[in-house]
Amino acid sequence: MCDAGMRRPLSPRLGSRSWSLPILAARRQLNRGFEALAVSPDESCLILAFQSPLAPPNEAAHRHGRHVRLWRVWLPTGHVVAQYALPLEPESAFHRDTAKGKFERSDIKVSELVWLPGGDLLVLERGSETTKVYRCTVEATQALGAEHLDIAHRPTLEELSASSAPFPLPTLRKSLVLDTDDHPEISADLEGMVLLAANQILLVNDNDFGVKGAETAFWRITFDRPL
């Protein structure tokens, strides 16, 4: 559910427009905008995840960043009411990708979200060959302060993330639900995910318009217990 106490906007209203997102969204990398979207069970809120770290104040922050921003948007107004930091796995955790050759931190992407009835999120994190699905606790996680939505604030979330020092901000807690490195029969380039039942998800790959001969494939995954 979307906490009614979080309706005070963190992003300012622009003129008479009812929808306005922080200008930080413009610092996304090309083709790395909002690909993962999820609506709360009560349909009052939307969670948006950037595919990869943003680039304030520079490209190096994107390339070396270890966290992705998630924004909670209050749908009646379109304002960002909370922001969270999602830690990404290290490159070495994507075994099928690293086995094929060069694989960098900037190749890791968040491509899908599912908002579970109890308030947690399923997050699809992937390289190309390897896909990992995590359950993340949102409601019990401390949101980041409003200053981290200000494009002028320093150090930026990405600068802190790219540093070799421990990340000083609260992050979403993750628990692994599925790792396709353990299931080589599941195809690469998975980008879509829906909840079919309490213990079942459906995954679909991106065939990139079939340019390289890839075909669309669906994978129904059934777990031993409810998610």
Confidence check: pLDDT of 139 > 90: no
Could you say which DSSP state residue 88 is in?
P
At which residue do the structure tokens 């421990």 appear?
166
Provide the token pair at 44.
Answer: 């009052």
CA-based radius of gyration for the chain: 17
The whole-number pLDDT of residue 83 equals 97
CA distance 225 to 202: 16
Tokens of 101: 């050759």
pLDDT (tens digit, 9 = 90+) per residue, 213-224?
Answer: 788 999 999 999
Burial 39-49 (b: 16+ CB within 10 A, else e): bbeeebbbbbb
Q: For residues 13 and 79, give the distance between their C-alpha atoms in angstroms, rounded to a whole number.
A: 8
C-alpha span between 110 and 120 (Å, rounded): 16
Lowest model confidence (mean pLDDT) among 22-26, 170-174, 213-217? 213-217
36, 114 Cβ separation under 8 angstroms: no
pLDDT tens digit string along 28-61?
Answer: 877 788 889 999 989 999 999 999 999 999 999 9
Calpha distance 148→141 (Å, rounded) = 16
Element (H, E) at 71: strand 67-74
Whether the upstream peptide bond of residue 57 has omega within 30° of 0, thus cis, is yes
Tell me the residue ranges of DSSP E strands in 91-130: 109-115, 121-126
3-class secondary-structure state, position 43: coil
Residues 49/70, Cβ–Cβ less than 8 Å: yes
pLDDT band at 3 (very low <50, low <70, confident <90, very high): low
Distance between CA 227 and CA 221 in Å, rounded? Answer: 11
Q: What residue ranges do the domains of the chain occupy? A: 4-222
Q: What pLDDT digit, counting tens, does each position of 80-123 carry?
A: 999 999 999 999 999 999 999 999 999 999 999 999 999 999 99
pLDDT at 16 over 50: no
Q: Give the closest residue to 125 by CA, choosing from 32, 175, 51.
A: 51
Spatial separation of the C-alpha atoms in residues 214 and 218, rounded to whole Å: 13
Q: What pLDDT is recorded for position 19?
A: 67
